[in-house]
Amino acid sequence: MRKIIDGTPSTMNDEYQLNLHKILHHAAKVHDEVEVISYRTLQGGGVYTMNYSMVYERVCKMANALEDLGVNAKDRVAILGWNDHRYFESYFSVSGVGAVLVQLNSRLHRDELAYIVKHSDSKALFLDETLIPLAEALAEKHNFEFFVIMSDKSELASKLKPVYYYEELIKEYPKKRSWPEIDERSAATACYTQGTTGMPKGVFYSHRALILHMLVSANMLSLNPTDVFLQIVPFYHVNGWGFHFACPAFGVKLVLPGMYNPVHLANIIINEKVTIAPAAPAILIPMLEVFRRIEPNIDLRNLRLVSGANEPPLAMQRGYARIGAKVIHAYGATEATPLISINVAKPQILKLDEEAQWEHMKKQGLIIFGIEAKLVNPSTGEEVPWDGKSLGELWVRGPWVIKEYYQDPRSKESVTEDGWWRTGDAGTIDELGYFQILDRLKDLIKSGGEWISSLNLETVLMKHPYVLEAVVIGVQHPRWGERPLALVVLKDQYKGKPKDVIEKDLKQFLLGKFAEWQVPDRILFIDEIPRTSVGKINKRLLREKYRDYYLRLEVNP
């Protein structure tokens, strides 16, 4: 623990607490007429038009109801839902009574969800009507005190007891409220991070962390009252990346898509004249195809998209640029609320030629203010310089970075005594402060004492016309310690081509970008790449399956 020096007391009101409900209270007074549009069309509902004043009144009603139902400070309330107005309101009503909103990813295995509600000791469960069967399964494994179904209806077939219906419940309560002052260091929301091993780990976000993160991220995205913000990232993914908290704070029109698909999202962007939206490439790529199909001459020059991934596909970025939209690459993690860096251009970058600027867009971006960062050599533990060449694991700390996981002994594996969170991402930081991931630390391949980036190999393989998907893993080797092994899913039109010819072509293709010793010894062809319950490539499973591949090859060449 670092020593804190006591200086001269300030004359500022430092006892004033940063609380989430104050964001909405501010919006109801200053930005009361600004719209909140909620789409429930794919959930059997309609399109709902409200404003921040109406949303605030509904939040007051629900907070009053929660207190009557016995929800108090330090309680946890779980939620299963989609990006609509009732979920958005729950951020403020639940945290406003001092409780914690525990967000459940409906794509997780039921055993993982059961673990989360038990580990967090969730008192109640809010759920969308489309997720009643999942809620019933959880109710068999955890004793919730009550359930609130988020629906327009006042009666639905359900085994849940006791059950309340959101709209019926808030009818009975006043639309005004005297809010308590909540210690800003208290948790307001929680998400559980899903890795490839073990049960999920809980991250409990304080009011203070969420608001400081919101202020910095809003500045980095230049959010202002002329914007229209579409919340694509699911709320249960790190609070939907937290940008939506900035909408009521800065008077930005907020559009909530509910359940969605690429066609649904593309139409919303066109009809609502959206100017900013965060999403993963898995959503942005098919959405780009929809734009091309429905309106070949579409002009989206006012649209900026925030993308989060190891490396955004340049083809996707160029594709959006051709229809006027700008893709901004950002990097973060559940443990960092999530923003750590964002790729905005310094003047030095704007002086580069066009191709060099495109190459630069692959980087994860500038480390943002509020995040203290360093690179640590994974072999020696020594800090490495910011020179764009020296490889190290990124360590970060700051006011919206974890100091521990919630009641989890695994915290010591990830957080140092002086507050550095080890991200597990290996890369470089250049002289201008731009971070670039080269690989997950556990996915780096150490061959003959030299490091090989599996991510870089995968990125180049994916550019070959034969390849639909590619993954590279490190496999034990009798001479070199480890060697890269590539596993490739071919596009349908190339599956009939002789595999030895394809392997030779792919290796030759890689030699255009890598030294011979960096190229995988073998390239195997598989039908499907295994993934975890949250859609990440399950390299752990692949490493187990192929761990002695080269050893067996040595015995039986």
Place of tokens 């009011």: 207
CA geometry: angle at 411 spanning 407 and 416, to 5°?
Answer: 140
State the helix-helix crossing angle for 85-96 and 20-30, rounded to 10 degrees: 120
Q: Which residue out of 112, 167, 179, 193 is catalytically annotated?
A: 193
Backbone dihedral region for residue 424 (phi beyond 0: left; psi -120 to 50: alpha; all else: beta): left
CA distance 70 to 67: 5
CA distance 331 to 338: 8
Place of tokens 């007074």: 29
> Would residue 423 show up in a list of annotated catalytic residues for this protein?
no
Q: Which of 440, 237, 416, 425 is nearest to 338 (CA)?
A: 237
Q: Which residue out of 175, 362, 442, 446 is catalytically annotated?
A: 446
Q: Which of 64, 38, 40 is nearest to 51 (CA)?
A: 38
Going 349 to 354 to 358 to 359, the CA torsion angle's sign is: negative
Alpha helix stretches (DSSP H) within 416-538:
454-461, 499-511
β-bridge mates for residue 366, sequence order: 342, 434
What token pair was written down for 48?
């709902």
What one-character DSSP code corresponds to residue 452?
A: E
Amino acid (1-letter code) at residue 490: L
DSSP letters spanning 425-437:
EEEEE-TTSEEEE
Backbone phi, then psi, for 537, in 5-degree steps? -65, 130
> Would residue 193 show up in a list of annotated catalytic residues for this protein?
yes
> Would residue 335 show up in a list of annotated catalytic residues for this protein?
yes
What token pair was written down for 463?
């550019």
Q: Which residue out of 184, 311, 335, 393 is catalytically annotated?
A: 335
Q: Which of 365, 479, 381 is nearest to 428 (CA)?
A: 365
Neighbours of 347 (CB within 10 A): 6
Cis peptide before 484 (omega within 30 of 0): no
Asked if residue 277 lies in contact with residue 245, where contact means CB atoms within 8 angstroms, the answer is no
Asked if residue 328 lies in contact with residue 342, where contact means CB atoms within 8 angstroms, the answer is yes
Neighbours of 185 (CB within 10 A): 11
Q: Which residue out of 196, 358, 362, 451 is catalytically annotated?
A: 451
> Would residue 123 show up in a list of annotated catalytic residues for this protein?
no
Cis peptide before 338 (omega within 30 of 0): yes
Place of tokens 């761990």: 547
What token pair was written down for 359?
């190459």
What token pair was written down for 481?
């310690």
Asked if residue 440 lies in contact with residue 425, where contact means CB atoms within 8 angstroms, the answer is yes
Positions marked catalytic: 193, 335, 446, 451
